[in-house]
């Protein structure tokens, strides 16, 4: 159909052909508009190309949806669990195992991450004041990551820049469950570094019972603060009263922790695993103190090496 036939067809019931002068003017107008859209559209697409996103209206039907902007400060959804260890590599690919960490964006969010170290005497630092918090705090600061430790009690040496913690010597996991909801509401952590269970086993609980208590504690924490990010740690090596290291109750408990992390991850919670055994702690010196329970300064350096790669990506996540 030519332009004259087109305008005859569009004549709203009038079948007389449009004058050639009118057709010529309209043809010129169409050409001008086409050129204008070609130039303007190119500029607009270039602008969107810089952001990595093109509106559907400007995207050809055959073009695939482009990847998100790599300079965005919002990290991928944190719906996978993490296992710390030497050479751990961040990943955004969900896995059936609790072994992947989210890939951080280039810059962390502006406000300090509120981190609650939660645990028993190993978190408090009976043998070495400040426990792993001393070296962890230094490592975070050295990497320009803003952190605010939170908790109802405080301890540590002057080299620890933030003494707040939620740690109580000898407390079992079920004792933490009695108070954790109040702590979460009062101190509003974004992340909890959770290591508990050793005192349960020291006081006669089986690994299975201790794991059930941990499950209850995690349920309480997520019910109180659904968007809470919890890094759950396995135990560090301990000796029983007869000098036997890492006995069956500890082994049974540690084996159940990854399953609990996966359970809550699959329920949409932000759960992560810190596997202390990935650092090959010694049984006794130099990593464990003469009491056979608490890490030495060297042992706490190893704990930091496990916590840090799991915690670091969480600094790049927008907080609710």
What pLDDT is stored for residue 318 in this prediction? 66
Average pLDDT, the chain: 76
What pLDDT is stored for residue 207 in this prediction? 98
pLDDT of 301 strictly over 80: yes
Region of residue 89 (left: phi > 0; alpha: psi -120 to 50; beta: else):
beta
pLDDT, tens digit, 9 for 90 and up, residues 241-299: 899 999 999 999 999 999 999 999 999 999 999 999 999 999 999 999 999 999 999 99
Q: Pick the range with the lowest mean pLDDT from 85-94, 184-193, 280-289, 304-313.
A: 85-94
Residue 100 lies in a domain: no
Q: Indicate the pLDDT class of residue 127, thresholds 50, 70 and 90.
A: confident
Q: Are 314 and 191 in contact (CB under 8 A)?
A: yes
Q: Are 300 and 261 in contact (CB under 8 A)?
A: no
Report how far apart, in Å, the C-alpha atoms of 266 and of each of 58, 92, 125, 220, 270 are: 37, 15, 33, 17, 9
Q: Are 238 and 282 in contact (CB under 8 A)?
A: no
Q: Are residues 154 and 18 in the same domain?
A: no
Question: Measured at the alpha carbon of residue 282, what is the angle toward residues 281 and 284, in degrees to the nearest 5?
Answer: 130
Q: Are residues 280 and 139 in the same domain?
A: yes
Q: Are residues 168 and 263 in the same domain?
A: yes
pLDDT of 7 strictly over 80: no
Residue 259 lies in a domain: yes
Cis ω for the linkage preceding 286 (within 30 of 0): yes
Q: Are residues 151 and 291 in the same domain?
A: yes
SS3 label, residue 238: coil
Q: Are residues 155 and 255 in the same domain?
A: yes
What pLDDT is stored for residue 317 in this prediction? 77
What pLDDT is stored for residue 316 in this prediction? 87
What pLDDT is stored for residue 129 in this prediction? 93
What pLDDT is stored for residue 157 in this prediction? 92
Closest CA to 285 of 117, 121, 132, 127: 127
Q: How far is CA 33 from the centre of its chain?
A: 50
Residue 82 lies in a domain: no
Q: Are residues 285 and 221 in the same domain?
A: yes
Residue 274 lies in a domain: yes
Q: Are residues 118 and 232 in the same domain?
A: yes
Q: Are residues 153 and 279 in the same domain?
A: yes
Residue 104 lies in a domain: no
Q: Are residues 160 and 32 in the same domain?
A: no
Q: Are residues 145 and 231 in the same domain?
A: yes
DSSP 8-state class, residue 17:
P
Helix, strand, coil shares, percent, the chain, to 5: 45, 10, 45
Of the ranges 82-91, 108-117, 171-180, the best mean pLDDT one: 171-180
Q: Is the model more confident about 188 or about 7?
A: 188
Task: Please give the Cα distance from 103 to 89 (Å, whole number).
Answer: 9
What pLDDT is stored for residue 55 in this prediction? 31
Question: CB neighbours (10 Å) of residue 193?
Answer: 28
Residue 239 lies in a domain: yes
Region of residue 118 (left: phi > 0; alpha: psi -120 to 50; beta: else):
beta
Predicted TM-score (pTM) of the model is 0.68
Q: Are residues 138 and 237 in the same domain?
A: yes
For 277, half-sphere exposure in the C-beta direction (CA atoms, 13 angstrom radius) is: 12
> Among 58, 86, 104, which residue terminates a domain?
58
What pLDDT is stored for residue 107 in this prediction? 65
> Among 20, 43, 58, which residue terminates a domain?
58
Average pLDDT over residues 190-209: 98
Question: Which CATH number do you get for residue 220?
Answer: 3.40.50.1110
> Among 36, 58, 80, which residue terminates a domain?
58
Provide CB contacts within 8 A for 114, sequence distance 6+. 148, 150, 187, 188, 189, 190, 191
Domain that includes residue 32, residue range: 3-58
Q: Are residues 136 and 18 in the same domain?
A: no
What pLDDT is stored for residue 104 in this prediction? 46
Residue 65 lies in a domain: no
pLDDT of 106 strictly over 60: no
Q: How many domains does the structure of the chain reveal?
A: 2
Residue 96 lies in a domain: no
Q: Which helix or strand (DSSP H or E) is residue 147 part of?
A: strand 147-149
Average pLDDT over residues 43-60: 32
């Amino acid at each position: 159909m030519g332009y004259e036939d087109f305008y005859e067809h569009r004549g709203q019931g009038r079948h007389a052909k449009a004058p050639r002068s009118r057709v010529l003017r309209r043809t010129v107008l169409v050409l001008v508009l086409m050129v204008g859209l070609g130039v303007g559209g190119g500029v607009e697409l270039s602008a969107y190309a810089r952001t990595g996103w093109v509106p559907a209206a400007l995207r050809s039907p055959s073009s695939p949806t482009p990847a998100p902007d790599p300079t965005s400060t919002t990290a991928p959804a944190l719906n996978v669990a993490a296992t710390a260890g030497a050479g751990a590599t961040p990943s955004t690919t969900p896995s059936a195992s609790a072994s992947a960490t989210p890939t951080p964006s280039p810059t962390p969010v502006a406000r300090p991450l509120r981190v609650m170290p939660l645990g028993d005497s190993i978190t408090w630092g009976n043998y070495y004041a400040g426990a792993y918090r001393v070296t962890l705090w230094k490592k975070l600061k050295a990497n320009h990551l803003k952190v605010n430790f939170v908790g109802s009690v405080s301890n540590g040496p002057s080299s620890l820049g933030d003494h707040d913690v939620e740690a109580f010597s000898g407390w079992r996991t079920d004792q933490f469950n009695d108070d954790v909801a109040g702590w979460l509401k009062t101190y509003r952590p974004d992340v909890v570094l959770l290591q508990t269970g050793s005192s349960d086993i020291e006081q006669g609980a089986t690994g299975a019972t201790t794991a059930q208590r941990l499950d209850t504690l995690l349920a309480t924490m997520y019910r109180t603060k659904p968007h809470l990010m919890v890094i759950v740690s396995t135990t560090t090596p301990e000796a029983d009263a007869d000098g036997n290291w890492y006995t069956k109750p500890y082994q049974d408990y540690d084996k159940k922790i990854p399953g609990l992390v996966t359970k809550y991850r699959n329920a949409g919670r932000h759960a992560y695993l810190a596997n202390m055994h990935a650092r090959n702690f010694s049984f006794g010196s130099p990593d464990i103190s003469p009491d056979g329970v608490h890490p030495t300064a060297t042992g706490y350096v190893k704990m930091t090496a496990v916590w840090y790669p799991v915690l670091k990506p969480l600094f790049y996540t927008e907080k609710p």
